[in-house]
Amino acid sequence: MQHHSDLNSLFPIPKNLQKSHTTWTFAVAWSPFDHACTYRLSHPSGKTRYLKMVQKGSYPSIKDELDRLHWAADYLPVPKIIDQDINGNPPWFLSEGIQGLNGTEAELKADPENLVRLLACALRFFHDHAPVEACPFDFRLDAALKHISKRAQLGLIHPEQHFHPEYQHFSVDQALAFLHEHRPPPSKSVVCHGDYCVPNILFQNNCLQGFVDLGELGVADVWWDLAVATWSLNWNLGNGWEELFLKEYGITNSPEAITYYRLLYDMVS
C-alpha cells in the first residue's frame, strides 16, 4: 500500500482497511477543512473507492451522511457503502467510486454552457425523483433556524472564517436577526441535496452518473439548493451563468430567496 505525502495524521487509515486493501493506493482526495478528510483508493484494475472521515462533534457527521445515503439509494444514484465505523476515532465510511467526472474537471469546464445545462437538469432530476413524503430528514426553515441558533449559542459560527465576502459585514447576531426577520415566502418543498455544488455531481458522456456529499440532504424549500447551486457556478465557472441555470431548471429568479439561503448556507456548517 502506498501513502500520499500529505496524509493528515488526524485521519489515520483504519488498520482493518489497510489489511483488506494492500493492493490499493491511498491518496488524499479532499481535505479543505481540519475536521474532515476524504481518501481516494485506487486499484490497478481501475476501480476506485472513497474513505470519508469526519471528526466527532462536527456537522454533518458520518452518521448523518450514512443515514441519508441509505435512504437516498432507493431513489437516486449515490455512492454504495462498503464498510463503516461510526464509533471510530474519527468515524468513517468506505464507498464504491462512481464512474465519471465532476464539474471541476477541465474536460467539463471546457464547455461551461453545456456543463451548466447538465447541472441544472441533474438538480431537477434530484428534486423530481426523491419523494418528499417519504423523506425522514427535515431542513425546512423552522428546523434550519433552530440548527443555526444552536450553533451560534455554542460559539461555532465565525464570520471571518465561515462567511463568504458578501456577508462578512454581518456579525453572528446580525446574521441571525436578518434570517429571522426576512424569511422569504415559502416556495416549493423538495428533497434538497443540501450542498449542491459543482464538485458534488458526476457526469460521463453528458449523462448524469451520481451525487456525492449528501450529509445535509433533507426536505427544504427548493431555493435552498438553487441558491447554493448558482453560487457554486460563480466560484467554479465565473459569473454570468445563474440565469441559464435557472432557465434550464425551469424557475424564475428570486434574488431575495437567493440572498437569504446563501447566508443560511454560510451558517449551517
Q: Given this model, what pLDDT does residue 121 score?
A: 98
Q: Given this model, what pLDDT does residue 9 score?
A: 74
Render each residue's pLDDT in the chain as its tens digit; 269 residues.
334 444 457 899 999 999 999 999 999 998 877 889 999 999 999 999 999 999 999 999 999 999 999 999 999 999 999 999 999 999 999 999 999 999 999 999 999 999 999 999 999 999 999 999 999 999 999 999 999 999 999 999 999 999 999 999 999 999 999 999 999 999 999 999 999 999 999 999 999 999 999 999 999 999 999 999 999 999 999 999 999 999 999 999 999 999 999 999 999 98
Q: Same structural domain for residues 229 and 158?
A: yes
Q: Given this model, what pLDDT does residue 5 score?
A: 42
Domain closes at, from 65, 81, 96: 96
Q: Given this model, what pLDDT does residue 4 score?
A: 43
Domain closes at, from 57, 79, 96: 96
Contact (CB, 8 A) for 219 and 132: yes
DSSP letters for the chain: -EE-TT--TTSPPPHHHHHHTTTSEEEEEE--STTEEEEEEE-TTS-EEEEEEE-TT-SS-HHHHHHHHHHHTTTS--PPEEEEETTSSS-EEEEEPPSSEETTSHHHHTSHHHHHHHHHHHHHHHHHHS-GGG---B-SHHHHHHHHHHHHHTT---HHHHS-GGGTT--HHHHHHHHHH-PPPP--EEEE-S---GGGEEEETTEEEEE---TT-EEEEHHHHHHHHHHHHHHHH-SS-HHHHHHHHT----HHHHHHHHHHHHHH-
Residues of the domain holding 35: 2-96
Q: Same structural domain for residues 130 and 55?
A: no
Q: Same structural domain for residues 113 and 14?
A: no
Q: Same structural domain for residues 13 and 83?
A: yes
- The C-alpha R_g of the chain, in whole angstroms, comes to 19
The total of structural domains in the chain comes to: 2
